[in-house]
Structure 1
Amino acid sequence: MAKETSADAMPLLEVDSIETCYGLSQVLFGLSLSIQKGEMVALMGRNGMGKTTTVRSIMGLTAPRAGNVRFDGREVRGLPAFRIAQLGIGLVPEGRQIFPNLTVRENLVAASANRLSSDDPWTLEKIHALFPRLAERGNNMGNQLSGGEQQMLAIGRALMTNPRLLILDEATEGLAPLIREEIWNCLSMLKARGQSVLVIDKNVENLARIADRHYIIERGRSVWNGTSEQLVAEPDLQHRYLGI
């Protein structure tokens, strides 16, 4: 799949000046970002700055009180979360949230769908090829897996929906180095396939290697966005906003 490069191309996802609150506590203050079809975009910032709230706002889990969320040109702010997912957004949530009382295989097939009507959709066999450990653990219950295996399962489950946009919240947080490397290899492969991705992680080196663009948020606001080349060229920026 070729990536859209025209300046006039409609974004696949456009988040425009959203404000999101939990009760009386406001977390996002006019935050904006966009993702083109076939683009991998990273969302970065220190803990507590609003990254997960941004994901929840996109997915309809915590509806913004102002602003717009458009997916493929359609306004989705205000839609229930299951409808937004059905439009073609696959989520790998923070904490994985796999189904503990289903087997690995059941976790994968329960959400399977061909959202893109693709001639080459993700199938159980392709997920097993991507993560062979899931094939080995196919009859194990979700709560019998290690943290790394659960993350593989969460990614596989999201891919089985054949999403138009894949969102990964804390893609490699708390994982062993070898598992992290496997996840980064998976993301590189997805990028090569032209999968649109929004990824949240703290590993700037790997994000700069595979992401097309980056947004940094600070206290619920987007304070910088640019390419990987621009991010690498500004170490002071990384220190100021990412603590690196």
Structure 2
Amino acid sequence: MSDEELVELAPLLEVEDIETCYGLSQVLFGMSLSVRTGEMVALLGRNGMGKTTTIRSIMGLTPARAGAIRFAGHEARQLPSFRIAQLGIGLVPEGRQIFPNLTVYENLVAASGNRLGAADPWTLEKIHALFPRLAERGANMGGTLSGGEQQMLAIGRALMTNPRLLILDEATEGLAPLIRDEIWSCLSLLKARGQSILVIDKNVENLTRICDRHYIIERGRAVWSGSSEQLIAEPELQHRYLGI
């Protein structure tokens, strides 16, 4: 096998046996997962099992004290958050965290960049085509938007960095049904475009419709991983770990 083929097979993101604590309270106990280029992978689990902490560890916001995090061939576990973002990870955080005192336009252009020389980079025009409502609300302050509009803005802001990997923490939590449908349509389009995605959400039906693989996390470690077909075929697994 050639060096090029080996690189192609290597995960874009590889999290291996990480342990993460908040002070003296340990949350992750050997958590592992991977995302390959072009894959959409879901991280599932009940509240409080370590999903958001896993994302925070990947991004360096709550650094893991042990284990390995590799992204695009770089050792990332001990890097500061801004360097991890510069490697090509775009985060849509839980709670959106858009800039409330900037306009929609300013939120988007403040994050724009093409550090990785993307062949088909995201532009303001492409974000507006994906979310026409952001074009309509361009002069409005971020803090005046509805929850659904803020989530669109948070996704648009992350895409404007032209990420190799897009991470969404609670992609549709707290959104109205019609807005949820719009977000799921957006994620389907991004996957078709070849965007690598790691997503946390509770809607297993939509996740199994568009994701390639899934990890279930329980008490700080991955207890199951498999394809959408495998997860659909194991309703007892969903009931045991997800309460469905």
TM-score (norm 1): 0.97
Check conservation: 1:46, 1:218, Cα contact below 8 A: yes
Q: Secondary structure at the match of 1:87?
A: helix
Contact 1:49 1:220 in 2 (8 A): yes
* Structure-to-structure mapping, 1:135-154, within 5 angstroms: 135-154=135-154
The 8 Å contact of residues 115 and 163 in structure 1, kept in 2 or not, is answered as no
**5+ residue gaps, structure 2:** none
Of 117-126 and 152-161, deviating more is 117-126
Q: Please tell me the residue identity of whatever aligns with 2:56.
A: R
User: Secondary structure, in 3 states, of the residue corresponding to 2:47?
Assistant: coil
**3-state SS of 1:67 partner:** strand
In structure 1, the partner of 2:88 is 88
Deviations 1:192-220 (A, max 9, x none): 01100000000000000000000000010
Aligned equivalents of 1:154, 1:186: Cα separation in 2: 13
- Aligned identity (percent) is 82
Aligned partner of 1:224 in structure 2 is 224
Encode CA deviations 1:60-98: one digit per residue, 9 max, x unaligned.
Answer: 000000000000121101111000001100000000000
Q: Which position in structure 2 is the counterpart of 1:240?
A: 240
Asked if 2 retains the 8 angstrom alpha-carbon contact of 1:115 and 1:164, the reply is no
The 1-side partners of 2:156 and 2:192 are apart by 17
Q: Secondary structure at the match of 1:139?
A: coil
Moved over 4 A (4+): 5-8
SS at 2:222's partner residue? strand
Match of 2:64 in 1: 64
Q: What's the C-alpha RMSD, in Å, of the aligned pairs? A: 1.5
| Aligned mates of 1:84, 1:157 — CA distance in 2 | 16
One-letter amino acid of the counterpart of residue 119, structure 2: D
Q: Distance in 1 between matches of 2:65 and 2:153?
A: 33
Give the aligned residue type for 1:62. T
The answer (yes or no) to whether the contact 1:14–1:35 under 8 Å persists in 2 is yes
What's the CA shift for 1:7? 11
What are the within-5 Å matches in structure 2 for residues 174-193 of structure 1?
A: 174-193=174-193
How many residue pairs end up in the alignment? 241
| SS in structure 2 of the partner of residue 17 of structure 1 | strand
- Superposition pairs of residues 1-244 of structure 1, within 5 angstroms: 9-244=9-244
